[in-house]
């Protein structure tokens, strides 16, 4: 009797237990895949972010624990002329760089999308600046755009144009840096666009050709809409990239002359590691974070609405 009971219990229990065990095994397998990534994301992103948020409510100099100052760092921010200047400089970069990199990237990608001898070489030419380190690019460009000894002014003189202040001029330095930034980054847009253009199916292009579409019409009505998702991606990517512009500044101007090339991230770095006001620096970093997030959300919403209208 008890045997039968035991048996039936075992029978009824067995099917129940087996999925449990499988579930556990699935969980273990799942976590063993996701675990390392989770640990890395937690350790390198979320915990540091939380820590930085806490830091932004203190007056820490990283040498001593610091006192809690509540929202004072954020309040101080709005009266800080250098912060506003950094905001303006970074904004200028974003406004100039994003459209330029999208337009130039697409045009160059179209030009490079053809079968010519040595096309691989031409393609590589546009990608090399992107691969080059910011340090070498910065040093090189520092020489080219030097006011007194640079190639650029040498060229201007040869062409009979007046000598420009370039990196030595507070009103021109940020434009020059934007140009350098564009030169080092837009190769990435070219590569992405080129890949997207090559994905456009031949039939569509052939159909357009048979219908007698001009080159311009093909470009405007077929290529541009086809790479739309890449344009959104590159826009978001470029925005993040531009808002975090930092490395070239260290190797070209260190924020000078007269703060004319201080960007937000450079200012964060200065505040934390030169001026020993890490708490304040963290507050600036968080404002940048919030601003970036809002801009991206707004951008994506606009892009989505446009997509729905089409």
Partner 1 sequence: MRRALTAATTLAAVVALTATGCSASGEKASGPAEIVIWHGQEDTSAKTIEKLVTRFNDTHKDVRVRVESGGATADGMLPKITAALTSDAYPDIAYLYGSWAPNVARNPKVADLTAYTKTPEARWQDFWANERESVTVQGKVIGFPAVVDNMVVLYNKKLLDKAGIEHPKPDWTWADFREMSKKMTAPGDGVFGATWPISGGEEAVWGLWPMLWQAGGDILSPDQRKATFNSPAGQQALDLLRAMAVEDKSLYLDSSPAEKGQKLFESGRLGFFMSGPWVLPDLQAAKVDYGVVQLPGTNGNHETVSGPDNWVVFNHDERRVKAATTFLSWLTAPEQELEWMTATGSLPIRESITKLPGYQDYLKKYPGVDVISANLANAKRVRPPTTKYPRVSSFVADAIAKTLLGRTTTKEALDEAAAKADAALAVPGS
Stretch near partner 1 under the rule CB under 8 A, chosen from 11-19, 96-104, 106-114, 287-295: 287-295
| Stretch of 6-14, 25-33, 218-226, 274-282 contacting partner 1, by CB under 8 A | 274-282
Distance CA 270, CA 276 (A): 8
Query: Which segments of the chain does DSSP mark as H helices, in order?
Result: 2-41, 47-55, 72-77, 81-112, 119-131, 134-144, 151-158, 173-199, 202-210, 215-218, 224-226, 228-243, 247-252, 264-273, 278-309
List, in sequence order, every residue forming a beta bridge with 8; answer none if it has no partner.
none
Binding residue (CB under 8 A) for partner 1 from 113, 164, 168, 226 = 168
Shortest Cβ distance from residue 210 to partner 1 (Å)? 46
Grouping H, G, I as helix, E, B as strand and the rest as coil, residue 22 is helix
Among 18, 274, 304, 307, binds partner 1 (CB under 8 A): 274
User: For residue 222, which of 238, 211, 233 has the smallest C-alpha distance?
Assistant: 211
Q: Choose between 222 and 232: whose C-beta lies nearer to partner 1.
A: 232
137 near partner 1, rule: CB under 8 A: no
146 binds partner 1 (CB under 8 A): yes
Among 113, 175, 289, 303, binds partner 1 (CB under 8 A): 289
Chain centre distance of CA 295: 13
| CA distances for 192 relative to 106, 195, 227, angstroms | 9, 5, 9
One residue of 8, 27, 29, 45 binding partner 1 per CB under 8 A: 45
| Contact between 69 and partner 1 per CB under 8 A | no
Region of residue 255 (left: phi > 0; alpha: psi -120 to 50; beta: else): left
With CB under 8 A, what is the number of residues at the site for partner 1? 61
Return the residue of 78, 121, 149, 216 that touches partner 1, per CB under 8 A: 149
Copy the structure tokens of residue 238: 């470029």
> Nearest CA to 265 among 291, 251, 247?
247
Residue in 35, 48, 99, 307 binding partner 1, rule: CB under 8 A: 48
Q: Is 275 in the site for partner 1 (CB under 8 A)?
A: yes
Q: What is the CB-side half-sphere exposure of residue 306 using CA atoms within 13 A?
A: 11
- Residue 292 to residues 58, 90, 160, 216, Cα–Cα distance (Å): 23, 12, 43, 35
As beta bridge partners, residue 279 has: none
Does 272 sit near partner 1 (CB under 8 A)?
Answer: yes
CB of 128 to partner 1, least distance (A): 23
Q: Which is nearer to partner 1, 218 or 259 (CB)?
A: 259
CB of 176 to partner 1, least distance (A): 10
Residues in touch with partner 1 (CB under 8 A): 43-45, 47-49, 51-52, 55, 59, 61-64, 142-143, 146-149, 165, 167-170, 173, 240, 243-244, 246, 250-259, 262, 265, 268-270, 272-278, 281-282, 285-286, 288-289, 292-293, 296
């Amino acid at each position: 009797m008890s045997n039968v009971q035991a048996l039936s219990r075992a029978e009824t229990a067995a099917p129940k237990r087996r999925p449990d065990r499988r579930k556990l095994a699935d969980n273990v397998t799942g976590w063993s895949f996701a675990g390392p990534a989770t640990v890395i994301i937690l350790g390198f992103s979320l915990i540091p972010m939380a820590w930085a948020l806490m830091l932004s409510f203190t007056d820490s100099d990283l040498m001593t624990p610091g006192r809690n100052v509540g929202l004072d760092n954020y309040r101080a921010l709005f009266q800080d002329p250098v912060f506003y200047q950094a905001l303006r400089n970074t904004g200028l970069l974003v406004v100039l760089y994003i459209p330029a990199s999208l337009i130039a990237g697409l045009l160059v990608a179209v030009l490079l999308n053809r079968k010519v001898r040595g096309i691989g070489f031409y393609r590589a030419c546009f990608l090399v600046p992107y691969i080059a380190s910011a340090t070498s690019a910065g040093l090189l460009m520092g020489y080219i755009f030097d006011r007194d000894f640079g190639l650029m002014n040498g060229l201007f003189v040869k062409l009979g144009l007046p000598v420009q202040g370039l990196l030595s001029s507070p009103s021109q330095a940020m434009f020059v840096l934007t140009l350098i930034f564009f030169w080092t980054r837009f190769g990435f847009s070219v590569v992405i666009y080129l890949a997207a253009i090559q994905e456009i199916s031949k039939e569509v292009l052939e159909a357009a050709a048979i219908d007698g579409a001009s080159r311009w019409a093909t470009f405007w009505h077929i290529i541009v809409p086809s790479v739309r998702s890449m344009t959104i991606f590159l826009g978001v990517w470029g925005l993040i990239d531009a808002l975090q512009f930092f490395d070239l500044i260290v190797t070209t101007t260190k924020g000078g002359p007269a703060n004319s090339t201080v960007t937000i991230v450079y200012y964060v770095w200065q505040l934390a590691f030169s001026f020993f006001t890490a708490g304040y620096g963290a507050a600036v970093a968080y404002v940048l974070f919030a601003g970036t997030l809002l801009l991206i959300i707004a951008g994506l919403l606009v892009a989505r609405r446009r997509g729905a209208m089409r």
